[in-house]
Amino acid sequence: MQPRMWRGVVEEYREFLPFTDATPVITLREGGTPLLESRLGTPVGLRLLVKYEATNPTGSFKDRGMTVAVSKAAEARARGIICASTGNTAASAAAYAARAGLPCALIVPASGVALGKLVQGIACGATIIAVQAAFDRALDLVREAAPLLGLTLVNSVNPHRLAGQKTAAFEICDALGRAPQTLAIPVGNAGNITAYWAGFKEYRAAGRSKSLPRMVGVQAEGAAPLVQGHPVDEPRTVASAIRIGRPASWDGAMTAVRESGGTLLAVTDEEILAAQDQLAREGIFVEPASAASVAGVLKMGRARQLDGEVVCVLTGHGLKDPEVIQARANLPAPIPATLEAISERLSLG
């Protein structure tokens, strides 16, 4: 038998990416993530599939863009990379910088970044700088600082990030043999929805899929600038990854929704946490930001605003944010290590 191994998004989709023979491929063999059937669509009459991006090397979709951005930085002989982040971009940048042997600086909000994301940066040897501000200010800062410091900015304002992230749309089309009817996705800085839409269009133009999906972008109610039509100064939501008030790819998100005949909607923190629980009860553990896409689809399904087949993007792993689960469920108190004590604990009633 021919040996076969997933090669990572650059080698799998090289013809769609800005690589030449001179570009080193900095990869952790990201991508190739599962498309899973979920039971949650049934009660609202939907066929619900989820693209489980948590199985990427650092546990989020960010790795797809980071492999491209860091490869291009290495090609350009960058001194190092820098980003602002609500957590997942930071974890991914740290891992790919380590892979490339490049220094990495992470500027993060002093409060609200999930612990599981910060420790990834520490473990990979990045320099972490916590600033007394929210994400939007941190992004302004790194956009100014990067050229002054001679560092490559790897936030999604770097077009190589979006080029890599569009490979998720390719994978969905490859798995289904066509584009889905509807694609639902959580929206923070709006890079991912922009990248998916570009991916679906490019794949159709290349003759690799025949249709385009309707794009549904979901924001958290307290951090929903695109839904409200204006920036939000103090974004608030339990979904810390998408606690963003001034999305950098604002126009990209609006274009995706308009061109695809889609929509934007907001969901409450309660709806987000309920969707996170429901997904976990079928074995799919995601962080709150990811559950927003499912919460939005279930909301639209109940209101009979959606039918047919929907693919929800589940952007990041639940393991990164244990505090959010712990806040709602106590860990069990220890009992004596005896058969009797265990039987007693397991007996219902």
Binding site: residue ranges? 88, 188-192, 315
Residues 6+ apart with CB under 8 A from 231: 225, 245, 246
Residue whose CB is less far from ligand AN7, 191 or 225: 191
Which residue ranges are tagged as binding site for pyridoxal 5'-phosphate?
Answer: 88, 188-192, 315
Residue whose CB is less far from ligand AN7, 115 or 341: 115
Using CA atoms, how far apart are residues 81 and 73, in angstroms rounded to an integer? 8
Using CA atoms, how far apart are residues 29 and 32, in angstroms rounded to an integer? 8
- Residues 76-105 interacting with ligand AN7 (rule: CB under 6 A): 85-89
Identify whether the C-beta of residue 212 lies closer than 8 Å to the C-beta of residue 178.
no
CB atoms within 10 A of CB 271: 20
Using CA atoms, how far apart are residues 291 and 275, in angstroms rounded to an integer? 6
Binding mask 43-82 for ligand AN7 (x = CB under 6 A): -----------------x----------------------
DSSP-derived 3-state class of residue 150: coil
User: Cβ 275 to ligand AN7, closest distance in Å?
Assistant: 13
Using CA atoms, how far apart are residues 50 and 46, in angstroms rounded to an integer? 12
Q: Could you give the angle at which helices 167-176 and 191-205 cross, rounded to 10 degrees?
A: 50
CB atoms within 10 A of CB 329: 8
Binding mask 169-198 for ligand AN7 (x = CB under 6 A): -----------------xxxxxxx------
Binding mask 285-324 for ligand AN7 (x = CB under 6 A): --x-xx------------------------xx--------
Residue whose CB is less far from ligand AN7, 167 or 189: 189
Residue whose CB is less far from ligand AN7, 8 or 116: 116
Residues of this chain that bind ligand AN7 (CB under 6 A) = 60, 85-89, 156, 186-192, 241-242, 287, 289-290, 315-316
